[in-house]
Amino acid sequence: MTTTCSHCGAATAPSALFCSGCGRSLSQASVAIATPPGVPTLSGAPTLDILGTLRIALAGRYDVERELGRGGMATVFLAREPRHDREVAIKVLHPELAATLGGDRFEREIRLAAKLQHPHILGLYDSGVAEGLLYYVMPFVRGESLRDRLAREGQLPVDEAIQITLEVADALGHAHDHGIIHRDVKPENILLANGHALVADFGIARALSEADSHKLTQTGMAVGTPVYMAPEQSMGEKVGPQADIYSLACVLFELLAGEPPFAGKNATAIMARHAMEPPRSVRVVRSAVPEEVEEAIFAALEKSPADRPKSAAAFAQLLGAAPGSTATMRVRGYTATRRLPSNPYITTAPPAAPVARWRRPAMLGALGAIVALLLAGAAAWRFAGRGAASGTAGNGSGRVAVLYFDDRSAEHTLGPLADGLTEGLIDALASAPSLTVISRDAVARFRGAAVAPDSVARAVRAGYLVRGEVEPERDDIRVTLRLDDASGVNLRRVSFRRPAGNLLAIRDTLTDVAAELLRAELGQELRLKAQRASTASADAWLLVQRGEQARRRGEAAAANGDPAGNDRAFSEADTLLARAATADPRWPQPELLRGVVAYRRSRLVGRDPALIRRWVDSGVVHVARALALAPQLPDGLELRGNLRYWSWLMGLEADPVRQKALLDSARADLEKATTLNPRQAGAWATLSHLYYQVATPTEVQIAAQRALEADEFLSNADVILGRLFLSSYDLGQFDKAEQWCGELGRRFAAIPLAVRCRLYLLTTKNKAPDVALAWRLADSVVARAPAAQRPAQRLFMDMLVGAVIARASRTTPALADSARHVVRRATGDATIDPARDAAYTGAWVYSLLGDRDAALQLLREYLAANPGRVDAFRDDPGWWFRDMAGDPRFRRLVGATE
């Protein structure tokens, strides 16, 4: 008898628990078995004998027709139940497994599982023992398994993947409430019928969980599948609901990415990766996946069960589900309930940016990857200068995080008020010099999520949490405020009521009450500055909060691929903000936020210059009105600087003189914003990219570091950290580069640059030239890249490996030929590498090998494709080519005077 894995086709031994090729379990109906006639099956009895035995034993109750499928644990047969005139599926456990379980235990546990009544659980009709065969009867589903659909489509649409996950989470939550853990959640056990998911095999999971594990192992069977198995389950520890949540997160990852989060050559390798390695970023593979969905996956894939969502409902809530609603209703409201950062801004440049003044080694290939994420609409930031915690803080004892307040109204009508109070309180407390207040970006990801307070405090390294809720009480609004310590223990609590029509009194009272709570706990005076550019109009204030809520809905729609929904929500936001501007014509905030909406629209209209110009011009008009009311408003200067820089990047100005004026004015606005508010993190972040065009690597580095110091939780902190690494590498500051690479690995291990930076470091004198490691890192970077980028990334990464080999050839001369071979193979052509960046790196490899003729030839190709780089080479060739700077041929190439 031969067996093959239906996932990867690898041949497997009949006694194997897991596939040696892909590591998936062979103990379910995922194994295709080629059985010659008359040869016993895995059960030890010919299939025809089992079929015949069933037909005789169940005659009168079921007409058993034929086999549907079989695997390592059971065989499934199609039958008809005459009494109810319906088709059923009968699953028969193999005799050796039946002997391990025992008939009494099997029937007892099956009866418990049969009590599960839920629309997304495949129910159990019947069970029993027939001539020594243990069986149970299920509905026959005319559909397919989720595995079948994945095999056919590779990836599922984001909204369908979320719907399926929410439905499965509903089913798991129901089972968990009844004390039943599935233990083997995977695509094979999720059936799709009539557009909905059904979770199967709760019966066998319950029965196996109660079996003697030693005897079960002796049969060659195990509960769970390594690809989807939580670390504690693979180590044989007691499992709870969090193990199923972990498995479901693995399934969701695979639905979105087309492959599971962890893979390996065998089951042991896969289980080790589950236990030791952080999951990859699904958004690197699928940029359309909303950030909140990725964060939910990361939360559910925490190594310790204690750090995961406490229930399936909590996981669903992190995915955007509305508490207390059915799975179908939740997914319908998915885009409306997702939470995104407010006041989004640009972070990096698109591929069509004009020629930068300089471009150093580490930037080759890196800018394009960063930019691709930006154009997908995923990158956004806020006015980050307010309430931003320092990145150099210690253990967090003096750091305060204000979490978004809960709306306790029956119809959830107080959401705009709750958000406005939260953000106003963050701004107010951040104005106290003696406090370090965590930024909005840091706490926004926890809005509406069922995450334990101590987990939030750990994530943002806060010593204190301020939490609140608002609820209607007759004609009043009641606000309750809590101050917790980092362990989640409540220290102080206060509640107050104010008339519902006096919203500004609620806002101002809240600020005073919060300041008093913190004064009493910290034992120090808090001097709060008056809220900047505030309003005396309650109508205007509430309209701004409603406008912001509509804008967030628009951002969610855009992230979910719904341009019509995005346009409707943004139009609604602009209308509400225009009404706010009318209600208080002297308050700059409404016009400022109208500028933000227009700016975001310019980012979401694709590459059409006319549409981009329309919305950029609209944004400029609105921000001009805001700055006319408050000329020294840092947020306004930051927005205008970003609008101007975006115009320059998009090439909206054709005249070179006007181009330069546009870039100069963008720089002036952003620098003035940081002068007025040194903690204007968003302006610093933009400057760290703008300086690539007009300044030096040192200035890029300083700006990026200032951005992180102002707000370590910037929504694009990974990009800023990457920029710090790249600029340090380009400057030859390898100790600093290693430090920033380590920080990338610690905070953002799943992104490609966290791996790529390690490969770059192997090309420096700080690291031994480990060729084997270089190849592994290069392969990992290419595997993590989106499919469209992989050919180019293969060239870039191979060239860097060539540099490592060239360094190694200094002690092992025979390797020099290998380095040359890699360069020749990776040089590529204009179709894959139109900017000839691979040729640039290849020139450096030849330089390391001492072959200046070949180096100069590739440099000539690179500069011919990039004539705008000649001046930069002439001014400073960088450390890659500094030893060639005196060569007359190099000087002639870059136009240097003798």
The correct CATH number of 399-532 out of 3.20.20.70, 3.30.70.100, 3.30.1050.10, 3.40.50.10070 is 3.40.50.10070
Q: Dihedral of CA 125/242/273/163: which sign?
A: positive
HSE-CB for 691 with a 13 A CA cutoff = 21
Task: Render pLDDT for 225-283 as a digit per residue (tens, 0 to 9).
Answer: 889 999 888 777 788 999 999 999 999 999 999 999 988 777 777 887 888 778 888 88
Taking CA atoms, 225 is separated from 7, 18, 144, 606, in Å, by 13, 8, 20, 43
Residue 638 · residue 683 · CB < 8 Å = yes
> Rounded distance, CA 408 to CA 406, Å?
6
DSSP codes, 606-663: TT-HHHHHHHHHHHHHHHHHHHHH-TT-HHHHHHHHHHHHHHHHTT---SHHHHHHHH
Query: Which residue(s) pair with 466 in the sheet?
Result: 402, 483
- Whether 2 has a pLDDT exceeding 60, the answer reads no
Task: Render pLDDT for 695-709 as a digit per residue (tens, 0 to 9).
Answer: 778 888 999 999 988
**Whole-number pLDDT of residue 246:** 96
Angle between helices 837-848 and 790-808 (to 10 degrees): 10
SS3 352: coil
Considering the chain, what is the average pLDDT of its residues? 80
Taking CA atoms, 120 is separated from 202, 268, 368, 414, 771, in Å, by 12, 32, 43, 33, 51
DSSP H or E segment with residue 491: strand 490-499
Task: Render pLDDT for 799-834 as a digit per residue (tens, 0 to 9).
Answer: 999 999 999 999 999 899 999 999 998 887 778 888
Show binding-site residues for ATP: 91
> Which region, left, alpha or beta, applies to residue 183 given φ > 0 means left and ψ of -120 to 50 means alpha?
left
Nearest CA among 667, 626, 675, 621 for reference residue 648: 667
Q: In what order do the strands lie in the sheet containing 31-34?
A: 11-12, 2-5, 31-34
- Whether 848 has a pLDDT exceeding 90, the answer reads yes
DSSP 138: E
Q: Dihedral of CA 90/96/101/102: which sign?
A: positive
**Whole-number pLDDT of residue 5:** 55
- Whether 9 has a pLDDT exceeding 80, the answer reads no
The greatest distance separating any two alpha carbons of the chain, rounded to the nearest whole angstrom, comes to 103
Taking CA atoms, 488 is separated from 61, 302, 310, 465, in Å, by 58, 20, 15, 8
**Whole-number pLDDT of residue 35:** 30
Show binding-site residues: 91
Taking CA atoms, 598 is separated from 342, 614, 627, in Å, by 14, 9, 16
Query: What b/e string do you get for 493-529 counting C-beta neighbours within 10 Å, with b at 16 or more?
Result: eeeeebebeebbebbbebbebbbebbeeebeeebebe
Task: Render pLDDT for 614-661 as a digit per residue (tens, 0 to 9).
Answer: 999 999 999 999 999 999 999 999 999 999 999 999 989 889 899 999
Q: Which range, 510-519, 622-631, 880-889, has the best average confidence (pLDDT)?
A: 622-631
**Whole-number pLDDT of residue 513:** 87
Reported confidence tier of residue 324, pLDDT bands at 50, 70, 90: very low
Q: Which range, 184-198, 471-485, 586-600, has the best average confidence (pLDDT)?
A: 586-600
Could you state, in order of their start, the residue ranges of all structural domains in the chain?
Answer: 2-139, 399-532
Query: Which residue(s) pair with 185 in the sheet?
Result: none
Tokens found for residue 663 = 């870039």
Query: Which residue(s) pair with 480 in the sheet?
Result: 469, 495
Task: Render pLDDT for 13-71 as a digit per residue (tens, 0 to 9).
Answer: 544 444 444 344 444 333 222 233 332 333 344 444 678 788 888 988 999 999 887 76
Residue 755 · residue 737 · CB < 8 Å = no
Reported confidence tier of residue 123, pLDDT bands at 50, 70, 90: confident
- Whether 337 has a pLDDT exceeding 50, the answer reads no
Least confident piece of the model among 341-350, 550-559, 843-852: 341-350
Least confident piece of the model among 47-61, 98-112, 330-344, 837-851: 330-344
What is the CATH code of the structural domain delimited by 2-139? 3.30.200.20
CB atoms within 10 A of CB 843: 28
Q: Exposed (0-12), middle (13-18) or buried (19+): which is 260, by Cβ within 10 Å? A: buried
> Rounded distance, CA 393 to CA 123, Å?
54
Strands 399-402 and 436-437: parallel
Residue 18 · residue 30 · CB < 8 Å = no
**0.85 cut: is pTM over it?**
no
Residue 128 · residue 62 · CB < 8 Å = no
Place of tokens 């490691």: 773
DSSP codes, 227-278: GG--HHHHTT----HHHHHHHHHHHHHHHHHSS-S---SSHHHHHHHHHHSP
> What number is the average pLDDT over the span 579-590?
95
Of the two residues 310 and 287, the one the predictor is more confident about is 310
Q: Which range, 33-37, 189-193, 377-381, has the best average confidence (pLDDT)?
A: 189-193
DSSP 187: G
Residue 246 · residue 296 · CB < 8 Å = no
Reported confidence tier of residue 362, pLDDT bands at 50, 70, 90: low
> Rounded distance, CA 803 to CA 855, Å?
13
Percent of the chain residues topping a pLDDT of 90: 38
> Rounded distance, CA 837 to CA 860, Å?
12
